[in-house]
Structure 1
């Protein structure tokens, strides 16, 4: 593999990534960064001058280049960090309600009760500002959604991004911060006032065009499920995808169909190569590539230029150029060069799961697929097509499997069947969708084509739902640590290298990687999480979990089915890496590791004989005198969960602060853990 890789580009890419990671781990002053950069450049200049007199020291030169690009990666991250902008809203006092002027950048998938948008702030109280925030607008069936490029005024309080309120919960706030989003506004639709200002540009034009096409498609007799798939497949709009459909596609290993990304752009590339084949001769080959790249970017803009489409369009543009330059090595170089270019544009892409999965899948296809395809030589077109799809699917899945387990804790066992059946026809389905969109936009879409294409979408949905129903082949709740992730990748890389070409160094590397992975498994097995008790944050009900001797016990007043299906419990099980959970009813008194917890529910009973609690949990809004309670148990820490009325929590908190009694609200601070 190394013989087909341009080592300088690989060194530059890895060093640049290292610089981005260093910026995230440690913030140094500009002075020392510039000093390091100047010293390294001077060192490289001296090496270059000495090269005229004697052979260049390759290790020293590679080290110098690495330091330069580590520094450049650091500086690029510093430049891209929105918080460094003096006008960013985080440098303004927004503790009180303020008047905001903003423009809508992106329409997000709505929740049950709110429409959601990414907006860029323009002014706060008429003072110029910058920065992106999430806008949550309460749903109103009588009003339309906001449009990209339109400016609005509103008066509200700017809130921080949410923090996880329970253990092992997805940290949506950190996810937003990786996207340079550091705040959120929550308003009603009638609190918006449209501004005379409007944004312009390709992104706004693409949004208007997409809205027009969507309106045209929705005017025809497609069903809601058909429209949901068409919108996602052709135009990158997933607003119509409900939870059931999303879960089914994920369980079948076909979620990538509903997210316009590398797969769709790759199919567009193949279709364009077929269409432009008449001008594929040597003299016109670069004209053909220019046309293909232009059309790829046109598709990217029309679908919204999301990060996944941006990655895919950049990657396949470089791949097209690499193919024209010739050779697999050029293709590999093009992939690495596209990654460098994207990270120069936005270094924080490295932390996005889609970016990681996209490039790992392409690396797997370029490296593993040729080796897999060598095991069998097809003789006919059909078996050649199926064998190609099978090897590509296995190569891509093998390369992203550890990362998928790390992030999503699920492995769809029938992904192979789904891909082999669907992918051969996906080009036709996607091409048909583009044709439907064009004809609908021109208002010449015939009803016969509507019925035919709708039937094709129903067939695909039906097959996906059938595969997803085979729950025995779906492995859920798989949790692996970061150390296990690295060990598994090392094991896969060195084992495949050994299988491709047997020699002693590769045998030693593969053996060491297996020993490392085994050691990680043994260590984690013998070092389970510490025993602890957790008071969860859950609205309208109370839930307490105790973890002891690798067993989890949940105490709650909810039904068994409700508890087992609760996302908090599922996340907790995944995080603790356990399969079984015991469920018991709620108690009024707990003893845990020499600590005592008194639970006071809506009955307000706490006059228990010999009770001397270290913690008091208030649930279900008990009508109690908090002053008397604190006087009776002066050393107890008061905990109020989210099953209480907010007004009660506020009153209790004020009293505890005045009495200098420690108080914890799970509604404000999240779950309380006793270790």
Structure 2
């Protein structure tokens, strides 16, 4: 209790984070939450006045902690609520739009993608925009006039698919505009963001002048600034297979490396401490801006800034305090950072290193400096990977098996290249010809890194294990890991009881999930762009009807992972069949069907049929409109079914159809 009162940043941050989670999962009236916040702060003030002269006592301490929790959790709730106000565009029939580009995403095989402000709307909401990649790549600040369609970002098409609409909603993006017509650039508006992007583009263009290949340039841009739009897909896949994709995302490691390099060079130049401090602060601010304020970069930059301030103030610096303090500052600025995967993994990895690594550090310490370097690298990599493993499994559904080899190879090389390329980039502003002398050597090192990973990737056939855990299992697994290290910090019996309790709880949750899946029986008509695909699951066995395309195959794998089941048999699709004592009819473009009763009818391949006759002859209990049908036909079907109050399911808008037999 005394420690909590000594470091109030811990309960304040915990409470604020809890409030943000409550805002995400629960909908409460803001007026009610505001009333709780005001009452809690009044209570805190009263407790402070009451104890100012008498000192703290145990009973009042409990009341103080409760007041802090309710006060700051209410603030977290309100902060999340105000930052995520729903945006509603009334006229979704609009065809002409004016947009201003705010962020350019990686283009795919068919189109350019970007985030933009919809300036033709009064509120200027953020939207996702897609147009043809035959046109020039858009730039931040460009204003376009385009003709297209606007709609809400769709929900996942199949069970357990990635929820892209939820991901975008945390960026306050709820609508997307798609156009297949030519877009017209009508202006180039200068803004603070466009100036930063232009500066970043100017710096990255230096590597073209220095003579690097396109493949290497894409790698440099990802490493230095987190720009993945030009990153080679093969390189990205290699780093993903080895579980070291974080190396290609500008992270806290990059910030600390560059911060340390600049600090070392400036000290060698014998500059004054005040000037060095000013240069370092300016570097942290500019680099954070150029890296797009990613969660891990902001975390590392804030921790470095707080270290500088603490050193100037003559205060003792605790890394854990810096970690918690920087988290609170970031979430006060934008509570949606809490749901950013990079933000979560970054903080968890650093916390694992700070909290867990000292317990095992002596096992990885050697007298020889080379052995000591690689020993420390292995130790830190193992602890960091163990700390983020449950969260990594939850988000990516994979356990990387080669992460240690990948870290041993990639981290020393990329750390050297990061510093070398940063210095070369700055010096090339003085003379490109002189400092292009180092290009062949640095290119050879980067190629050596790619080739080494490629050979190892070819050598190991199994690189990952597909696995899935629920959010509750994730939390319990994290608690198990950190409780185990907590015990070895100072061995006490009650910690053993805490650890065993968490293990038992984890096993009970796992057993519950296994039992539920074992007794589950359901039929799913999957959302596939071309084919009708039906899965009949009984416990852990899936009977598949119809062939899937490569996109739906991934959805099927997700379904297998989440339900702990496997496809045991595959049958070709027939026009009519019986499934679980229910009659199914598939009507395709031929529009031929028998005159008998069916329970479920799937309209597929744009059948042009007389709906009155179909209802009279077949008398279906449910009509499924496959998402491969033309939109105008679906609109006609929907209008007919609504008029006659016939049950239907439009797979284009609602995704897969699930029949639960439990």
After TM superposition, the score normalised by the length of structure 2 is 0.92
Task: String of CA shifts for 1:270-296, please: whole Å, max 9, x gaps.
Answer: 212322334899xx5565344323212
Task: String of CA shifts for 1:62-121, please: whole Å, max 9, x gaps.
Answer: 2212222112212222332343xxxx5x2x522221554332111111122111111123
Query: What is the aligned counterpart of 2:246 among 256, 269, 290?
Result: 256
Equivalence for 1:17:
17
Does residue 475 (structure 1) correspond to residue 472 (structure 2)? The answer is no
Task: String of CA shifts for 1:417-443, please: whole Å, max 9, x gaps.
Answer: 111222223221112222343355556
Deviation at 1:176, TM superposition (A): 0.2
Contact 1:563-1:569 within 8 A present in 2 as well: no
Task: String of CA shifts for 1:356-406, please: whole Å, max 9, x gaps.
Answer: 111101101111112221224310211221122112111211111000000
Distance 1:413 1:660, change over 3 A: same
Partner SS, residue 469 of structure 1: helix
Equivalence for 1:61:
64
Equivalence for 1:131:
125
Equivalence for 2:214:
224
Equivalence for 1:265:
255
Equivalence for 1:672:
657
Equivalence for 2:390:
402
Query: How far, CA to CA, are the matches of 2:120 and 2:436 in structure 1?
Result: 49
> Comparing 257-266 with 573-582, which one deviates more in the overlay?
573-582
Structure 1: any 5+ residue segments left out of the alignment? none
Distance 1:322 1:576, change over 3 A: farther
Contact 1:315-1:339 within 8 A present in 2 as well: no
Does residue 200 (structure 1) correspond to residue 167 (structure 2)? The answer is no
Structure 2: any 5+ residue segments left out of the alignment? none
Partner SS, residue 151 of structure 2: coil
Query: What is the aligned counterpart of 2:327 among 314, 317, 339?
Result: 339
Deviation at 1:495, TM superposition (A): 1.4
Partner SS, residue 301 of structure 1: helix
Contact 1:160-1:182 within 8 A present in 2 as well: yes
Partner SS, residue 154 of structure 1: strand
Q: Figure out how many residues of one structure are paired with residues of the other and give that number.
A: 655
Query: What is the aligned counterpart of 2:90 among 87, 93, 101?
Result: 93
Equivalence for 2:160:
168
Question: What are the equivalent positions in structure 2 for 1:270-669 lying under 5 Å apart?
Answer: 270-278=260-268, 285=273, 287-322=275-310, 330-438=318-426, 444-445=432-433, 448-528=437-517, 530-557=520-547, 566-607=553-594, 611-669=596-654
After TM superposition, the score normalised by the length of structure 1 is 0.90
Equivalence for 1:77:
80
Distance 1:408 1:620, change over 3 A: same
Query: How far, CA to CA, are the matches of 1:260 and 1:17 in structure 2?
Result: 24
Partner SS, residue 476 of structure 1: strand
Deviation at 1:220, TM superposition (A): 5.7
Question: What are the equivalent positions in structure 2 for 1:138-149 lying under 5 Å apart?
Answer: 138-140=132-134, 143-149=135-141
Contact 1:22-1:74 within 8 A present in 2 as well: yes
Query: How far, CA to CA, are the matches of 2:316 and 2:404 in structure 1?
Result: 26
Contact 1:105-1:149 within 8 A present in 2 as well: yes
Distance 1:621 1:31, change over 3 A: closer
Equivalence for 1:111:
108
Partner SS, residue 528 of structure 1: helix
Contact 2:101-2:114 within 8 A present in 1 as well: yes
> Comparing 391-400 with 583-592, which one deviates more in the overlay?
583-592
Contact 1:323-1:331 within 8 A present in 2 as well: no
Partner SS, residue 63 of structure 2: helix
Deviation at 1:660, TM superposition (A): 3.4
Distance 1:280 1:397, change over 3 A: farther
Distance 1:542 1:658, change over 3 A: same
> Comparing 163-172 with 114-123, which one deviates more in the overlay?
114-123
Deviation at 1:213, TM superposition (A): 3.1
Deviation at 1:634, TM superposition (A): 2.4
Deviation at 1:3, TM superposition (A): 6.9
